[in-house]
Amino acid sequence: MSSHLSDLCTTLAWAPFLQPAPGVQHWWWLLVIPMALGVSMAYKAIRVQNLDQWPMAVAKMTLQIVATVVGIAVGLYLLVIVLLPLLPAE
Amino acid sequence: MPATNNDATFRPLGAILGWVFPGLGHIAGGNAKRGFCAMAGVLVLFLGGLLVGGVDCVDRKEDRLWFFGQAGCGPIAFAASYANDALLKSGEAAPMIEMPSYPGQPEVFVSSYKGLAHANEFGTLFVFLAGLLNICVLLDATVRAPSSDAPSTGRRAGEGASK
């Protein structure tokens, strides 16, 4: 309870653009979504022939980037946590 | 067949305007919608970076190599770095705190708003990506034909078809 209250106070006291955002230390991995969205928006703005296709192209590229990052994370998890411990110690 | 404009000559003014503000090169070249789309993408990254890491993530003195890429955003990156100097490093926005220093070394004070760890890393990365993508956008503005996004005057599919 006191932890939630402390988090709430930290958030309310946040000075946007001056202070780092509260909670980023715990939820940093979610930042891949706005990062992929911003990259897709700028890239597809100069890439698509017809701008009517821009929203769909942005959504598709964002999903592709996020899915690729998640795939790499799962692959590395399997490699480090599951496969490597199975190897003989020597 | 839609009308196309193949007048793809090099226009340095597009690059200059695109650096002054993201997307301005396209807007000045008559491709306003494309310019606003590119502007939105670059600003999502730039403002997202400042929101995540604070203005401390743009620092042309302490993070010089990152700033080379961030400067691709144009004057807004320099303004953010100036705001970092004027508000954070001067102690104007928040009290300064003393950092541990080696014996014999001068005392070091930093702003209590200084970004650390993931917040600083992601903020710096976001603004860096915004700068690199804006360089791509302004290069596109130099070679894209003016008003090439104007709607075609030709018939659209289905228009005028007999029933």
DSSP string, A53-76: GHHHHHHHHHHHHHHHHHHHHHHH
More confident residue, A1 or A50: A50
Instruction: Write out pLDDT tens, residues B22-41.
Output: 999 999 999 999 999 999 99
More confident residue, A28 or B152: A28
Look at residue A20 and give its three-state secondary structure: coil
Tell me the residue type at B79. Answer: A
- Cross-strand pairs, B108: B99
How many Cβ atoms sit within 10 Å of the Cβ of residue A1?
5
ipTM: 0.86
Reported as a pLDDT band with limits 50, 70 and 90, residue A15 is: confident
Average pLDDT over residues B149-155: 60
More confident residue, A29 or B108: A29
How far is it between the farthest Cα atoms of chain B? Answer: 91
Instruction: Write out pLDDT tens, residues A18-75.
Output: 889 988 888 999 999 999 999 999 999 999 999 999 999 999 999 999 999 999 999 9
More confident residue, B108 or B82: B82
Mutation target among A28, A29, A46, A48 for the B interface, most CBs of B within 10 A: A46
pLDDT on residue B157: 44
Extents of the domains making up chain A:
25-86
> From CA A29, how far away is CA B1, in angstroms rounded?
46
Residues of chain B with Cβ-Cβ distance to A20 below 8 Å are 52-54, 56, 113, 115-116, 119-120, 123
Residues 6+ apart with CB under 8 A from B136: A42, A43, A46
pLDDT on residue B158: 43
- pTM for this prediction: 0.86
In this structure, of A16-25, B82-91, B109-118, B143-152, the range with the lowest mean pLDDT score is B143-152
More confident residue, B54 or A5: B54
Residues of chain B with Cβ-Cβ distance to A35 below 8 Å are 45, 48, 122, 125-126, 129
Tell me the residue type at B2. Answer: P
Cβ–Cβ below 8 Å for B41 and A35: no
Mutation target among A11, A19, A50, A61 for the B interface, most CBs of B within 10 A: A19
> From CA B70, how far away is CA B136, in angstroms rounded?
13
Reported as a pLDDT band with limits 50, 70 and 90, residue B124 is: very high
More confident residue, A79 or B108: A79
- From residue B51, how far is each of A16, B37, B45, B54, B126 by CA, in Å? 6, 21, 10, 6, 10
More confident residue, B13 or B8: B13
Tell me the residue type at B29. Answer: G
Residue A10 has pLDDT above 80, yes or no: no
Extents of the domains making up chain B:
12-143
Query: Residue ranges of the alpha helices (H) in B12-116?
Result: 12-20, 24-28, 32-53, 64-70, 75-83
B77 at A interface, C-beta within 8 A: no
**Contact between residue B29 and residue B48 where contact means Cβ atoms under 8 Å apart:** no
Cβ–Cβ below 8 Å for B37 and A44: yes
More confident residue, B103 or B86: B86
Percent of chain B with pLDDT over 70: 87
Instruction: Write out pLDDT tens, residues B54-102.
Output: 999 999 999 999 999 999 999 999 999 999 999 988 888 888 888 888 8
